[in-house]
């Protein structure tokens, strides 16, 4: 025991020691009290157990005094519930949270903005969703009122509208993708999802990637088609000059006041062995706009002494000019070169006008007696690309057709034959083979060549439908940009699409002017025009006698021989080209 002097304070070490002694005494006192309480509790429990019957229920546990700490089991539960595990509240519902994440992400991709609203981003969600609903409503109104097809056609033939659609498709796809990503991220952070497992994170990443691909792929295709159409309209069609027989583009029936339209089709040969451009194929398609019946007039390129309108400057200059070009200078295919050399006679070159084509249109119109309303010229090499773009063409090849051959006008020799198109029905030809099928001269005359060219045109009309044209459109448009020239204005294309559908349902008849019905060296143009008028008249219906004869052939051996084509019986009449192909 430490003794202190009066008026002095105990040392700090002595004070600490005295406190330690008191603490030890307090602990001992507490233990003694607990032991005494435990003993008394045990005694009461033993007495109660001895006095209670065996089937009696055990006494209910005593409630802990107010303010007393809970039992150890409760303490354990409390510790687990209040632990620091961040997944504790969501651990049992992580699967349900992932399912919700997947469903709402897909919803947000299908209906942009809906996923953001579900994720709690109401302002941004409705900001995206309302324009989407407006577009859907407007589209539904157009469909229900029957204006979808006319509006789509009007837009499809507007170059500026195509440019807007291409840009809009690209920008729209980017915004749509941003909405998908924002929706998914917002849902990941929402309270109802929780922490995802590694597999769930990988699955959500794959889901978002797939949704982005679903949006980007069709948008990119739409933009590509729109730009291809824009470039085609700008480079091939343009504004053009209106024909006197132009359709009424503002009417539901644009051809109501135009009974017939005539389109000149030229196959241009611009080979290195040619002087300038010389049309190798010259056809005039005369179309009945009411029925779609079409007369295809095939004019030989070597048709001489082609007339021009009487009294015109071209009629006065042509005889002298064509003879100045030497042998073959006065043939029909030399008119194009004459027009380019005398451009002032045919409207000049201003505004994209082609004086060579205009000269050819005048010559064909004078020779046939039909006004030429429009023209379309295809480079022969471009024809190959067009057929390839369509995936080829199926043709009946009557005999082996040589690839190559023919006379070299520069050397006087012959070109070598590099291959053959084999004989057969339904031969699938690519563009290169189809070109040589139509133009090969080796072993055949011009009559045979014109017949083969008609077969190609007839097969193309029958085989190339809207589905094939749509599927091949980008490559077809690219080939057309470089190889097709026409004066059909873009604002009349919608009317020509309508006319094309009518032609598909009409009859196609062909008339070739050959040595069988006209002398190409000294042609009788009055007789030629008379044959044209007869070709335009609708075909006479089959008589009862002819029908009975065809139904009941005679027993003679000649009955087994197929009837000759109508062109062989009467070369002055137009026939269905499919009967000779």
Mean pLDDT, the chain, integer: 78
Judgement on whether residues 447 and 528 belong to the same structural domain of the protein: yes
Judgement on whether residues 377 and 491 belong to the same structural domain of the protein: yes
Q: Which of 5-14, 157-166, 461-470 has the lowest mean pLDDT?
A: 5-14
- In a domain, residue 215? The reply is yes
What are the CA-CA distances from residue 373 to residues 192, 236, 368, 513 (Å)? Answer: 71, 17, 13, 21
Q: Which two tokens stand for residue 456?
A: 């190609």
Judgement on whether residues 292 and 156 belong to the same structural domain of the protein: no
Stretch 30-43: mean pLDDT? 55
Residue 395, C-beta contacts closer than 8 angstroms, at least 6 positions apart: 426, 427, 429, 434, 437, 455, 456, 459, 581
Judgement on whether residues 174 and 298 belong to the same structural domain of the protein: no
- In a domain, residue 270? The reply is yes
Stretch 409-424: mean pLDDT? 83
pLDDT value of position 475 = 86
- Contact yes or no for 299/283 (Cβ under 8 A): yes
- In a domain, residue 34? The reply is no
Give the domain-ending residue among 186, 205, 237. Answer: 237
Domain, as residue range, for 392: 260-538+568-580
Judgement on whether residues 207 and 284 belong to the same structural domain of the protein: no
Judgement on whether residues 213 and 280 belong to the same structural domain of the protein: no
Stretch 452-476: mean pLDDT? 82
pLDDT value of position 569 = 53
- In a domain, residue 22? The reply is no
- In a domain, residue 346? The reply is yes
- In a domain, residue 465? The reply is yes
Give the domain-ending residue among 206, 237, 268. Answer: 237
Q: Which residue has the tokens 């700090």?
A: 12
- Number of folded domains in the chain? 2
CA distance 372 to 365: 6
Judgement on whether residues 137 and 195 belong to the same structural domain of the protein: yes
Judgement on whether residues 281 and 330 belong to the same structural domain of the protein: yes
- In a domain, residue 351? The reply is yes
Digit-coded pLDDT (tens) for 533-570: 999 987 665 544 444 444 433 333 333 333 334 444 56
Digit-coded pLDDT (tens) for 268-325: 876 555 555 778 889 999 999 999 999 999 999 889 888 899 888 898 888 877 776 5
Coil vs helix vs strand at 552: coil
Judgement on whether residues 104 and 138 belong to the same structural domain of the protein: yes
Q: Which two tokens stand for residue 390?
A: 């369509």
Digit-coded pLDDT (tens) for 246-266: 888 888 889 999 999 999 999
Digit-coded pLDDT (tens) for 355-397: 999 999 999 999 999 999 999 998 877 888 889 988 899 999 9
Digit-coded pLDDT (tens) for 428-445: 999 999 999 988 888 887
Task: Single out the residue of 364, 576, 367 nearest to residue 454, CA to CA.
Answer: 576
Judgement on whether residues 232 and 264 belong to the same structural domain of the protein: no
Strands 294-299 and 424-429: unpaired
Judgement on whether residues 266 and 331 belong to the same structural domain of the protein: yes
Is the pLDDT assigned to residue 40 strictly greater than 80?
A: no
186 vs 36, higher pLDDT: 186
Is the pLDDT assigned to residue 197 strictly greater than 80?
A: yes
CA distance 455 to 464: 14
In CATH, what number is assigned to the domain containing residue 528? 3.40.630.190
Digit-coded pLDDT (tens) for 218-241: 999 999 999 999 999 888 886 666
- In a domain, residue 129? The reply is yes
Output the DSSP codes for 253-322: STTTT-SEEEEEEEEEE--TTSSS-EEEEEEEEEEETTT--EEEEEE-TT-BS----TTSHHHHHHHHHH
Judgement on whether residues 265 and 232 belong to the same structural domain of the protein: no
């Amino acid at each position: 025991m430490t003794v202190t002097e009066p008026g002095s304070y105990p040392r700090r070490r002595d004070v600490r020691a005295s406190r330690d002694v008191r603490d030890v005494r307090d602990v001992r006192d507490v233990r003694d009290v607990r032991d005494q309480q435990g003993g008394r509790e045990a005694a009461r429990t033993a007495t109660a157990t001895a006095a209670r019957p065996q089937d009696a229920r055990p006494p209910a546990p005593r409630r802990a005094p107010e303010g007393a700490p809970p039992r150890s089991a409760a303490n354990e539960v409390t510790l687990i519930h209040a632990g620091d595990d961040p997944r504790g509240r969501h651990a049992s519902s992580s699967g349900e949270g992932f399912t919700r994440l997947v469903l709402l992400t897909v919803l947000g991709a299908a209906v942009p903005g809906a996923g953001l609203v579900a994720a709690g981003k109401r302002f941004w969600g409705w900001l995206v969703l309302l324009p989407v609903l407006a577009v859907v409503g407007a589209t539904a109104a157009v469909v229900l009122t029957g204006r979808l097809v006319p509006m789509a056609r009007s837009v499809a033939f507007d170059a500026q509208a195509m440019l807007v659609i291409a840009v809009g498709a690209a920008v729209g796809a980017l915004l749509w993708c941003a909405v998908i990503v924002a929706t998914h991220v917002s849902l990941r952070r929402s309270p109802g999802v929780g922490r995802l497992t590694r597999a769930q994170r990988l699955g959500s990443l794959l889901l978002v990637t797939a949704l982005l691909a679903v949006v980007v792929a069709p948008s990119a295709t739409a933009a590509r088609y729109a730009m291809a159409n824009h470039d085609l309209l700008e480079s091939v069609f343009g504004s053009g000059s209106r024909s006197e027989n132009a359709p009424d583009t503002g009417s539901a029936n644009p051809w109501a006041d135009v009974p017939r339209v005539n389109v000149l089709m030229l196959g241009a040969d611009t080979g290195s062995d040619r002087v300038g451009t010389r049309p190798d194929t010259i056809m005039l398609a005369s179309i009945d706009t009411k029925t779609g019946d079409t007369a295809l007039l095939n004019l030989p390129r070597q048709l001489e002494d082609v007339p021009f309108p009487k009294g015109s400057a071209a009629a006065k200059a042509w005889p002298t000019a064509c003879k100045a070009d030497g042998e073959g200078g006065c043939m029909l295919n030399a008119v194009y070169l004459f027009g380019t050399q005398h451009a002032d006679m045919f409207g000049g070159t201003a505004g994209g006008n082609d004086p060579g084509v205009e000269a050819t249109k005048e010559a064909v119109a004078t020779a046939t007696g039909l006004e030429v309303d429009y023209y379309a010229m295809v480079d022969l090499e471009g024809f190959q690309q067009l057929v390839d773009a369509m995936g080829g063409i199926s043709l009946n090849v009557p005999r082996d057709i040589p690839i190559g051959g023919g006379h070299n006008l520069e050397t006087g020799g012959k070109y070598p034959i590099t291959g053959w198109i084999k004989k057969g029905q339904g031969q699938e030809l690519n563009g290169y083979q189809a070109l040589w099928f139509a133009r090969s001269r080796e072993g055949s005359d011009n009559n045979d060549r014109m017949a083969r060219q008609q077969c190609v045109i007839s097969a193309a009309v029958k085989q190339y439908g809207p589905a094939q044209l749509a599927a091949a459109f980008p490559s077809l448009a690219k080939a057309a940009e470089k190889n097709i020239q026409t004066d059909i204005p873009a604002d009349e294309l919608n009317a020509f699409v309508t006319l094309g559908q009518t032609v598909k349902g009409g009859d196609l008849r062909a008339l070739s002017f050959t040595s069988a019905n006209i002398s190409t060296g000294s042609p009788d143009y009055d007789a030629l025009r008379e044959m044209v008028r007869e070709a335009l008249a609708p075909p006479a219906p089959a008589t009862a006698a002819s029908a009975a004869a065809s139904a009941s052939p005679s027993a003679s051996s000649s009955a087994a021989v197929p009837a000759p084509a109508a062109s062989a019986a009467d070369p002055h009449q137009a026939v269905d080209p499919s009967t000779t192909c």
